[in-house]
Structure 1
Amino acid sequence: MDATEETQPNRRRVWITLSALVVVIALAVLGAIFVPPLLAGTPSTEPSASATPTTPPRDIVDPDAPRPTQTPTPAAGATDEPFAELSPVAPDQTIVTEEGIEISLSSLQAVDGQATLAGETSGPAIRATVRITNTGDEPLDLEYVAVNAYIGEDRAPAGTLTQPGGAPFEGTVEPGDSAEGTYLFSVPEADRDDVTLTVDYLFGAKVAVFRGDLR
């Protein structure tokens, strides 16, 4: 057998190998082009988070009801120290402070709290929208406004939440203007017969206090 006859089978094997390699590469390219869109169009069998049933918010205080104004005196035992409090008023009243600030709870609702941050616990919650109206002569910085909630006579601190709908105060409210901030607190339904909400709106000023039955 001469050298030409010996090289022909080798050439055939090389061409067969190259042809197979070309086919594999072509299939890989076609798979990369057509498979992802097909997979993306496949409907998911997992339930959507938005499909989870939730209890609609329930108004505790009628948001459209008139708010009687009240100028509370300092609470018994209050001093001129920071965080001294004014006497509590009902949740449906408006507090008028000696600094010319009006504070009210424009909305008070029972909601299902959603834990989204570390330390939060999902469950029954109170969502309070606080309205501050500046009837004084100077702008009021809202960045340091603190709203807190307490449960019962011994004022056990209620846990805080940010969802659904939390929107703390920010910015500044000018004289004659109003601003609102929304806060959520974990309060079991069985403990809502005595709830206290405090609004610390200005350093050195006595803290505004709302207390009542929020069932």
Structure 2
Amino acid sequence: MACLSTCIVAALCRAKEGELAARSVGDISEEVVTTHITQRESALHCRRRTRGVEETNRLIRSLTSLFDSVSGKDTLGVPLLDHERIQQIWKEQQKHLGCIQNPEDFQLYIKTGTLKKGNVELCCYRCARGSTSLETFHLHLNRFIPGTSVSYAHFQAYLLEGLMRWNDDWMEDAVKGAPSIHSYGSALSEAVDQLSQKGAREMLG
């Protein structure tokens, strides 16, 4: 998908080709240009849109069908997906397809200026997608688990710890505007609060 998103943007490809030519980077083929376009450049200069519920449904079903077939087995012949479980998961989750589509009649992108690259003037955009607290939470959720091999007990512990820290950060920001103590230890926070109250009492009296 990352390669596809860069290939469909001709202006950015021309700009990157001009940059590479100015730096005398050997043979400048379409593949070379594509590999040199960074994710940050793509996000800055390209506006994206979702494909709609029906098309998203078709693409996901096509993908799960592929991995739920003979093609979806590793080198030892072990299926990557459990047929019964993946069908049940898809049955439960497809109702959320409408939730991940761009809202209609709402401008997600704001033009913030232009930038010249490789003698090509590119528009710069700022996207509202990912700017709400809920979307930010979804972005960080997968970072709560430090690895891909973990027991159920450790997985739950990491998840609960991540949720606790997330809630603490947002509560601190909402109440005080900025974190005052960079610690998630409840005992330490309580001790600091007690010392603060003691200091305030001594100053008053």
Same topology, TM > 0.5? no
Normalization by structure 2: what TM-score? 0.20
Normalization by structure 1: what TM-score? 0.19
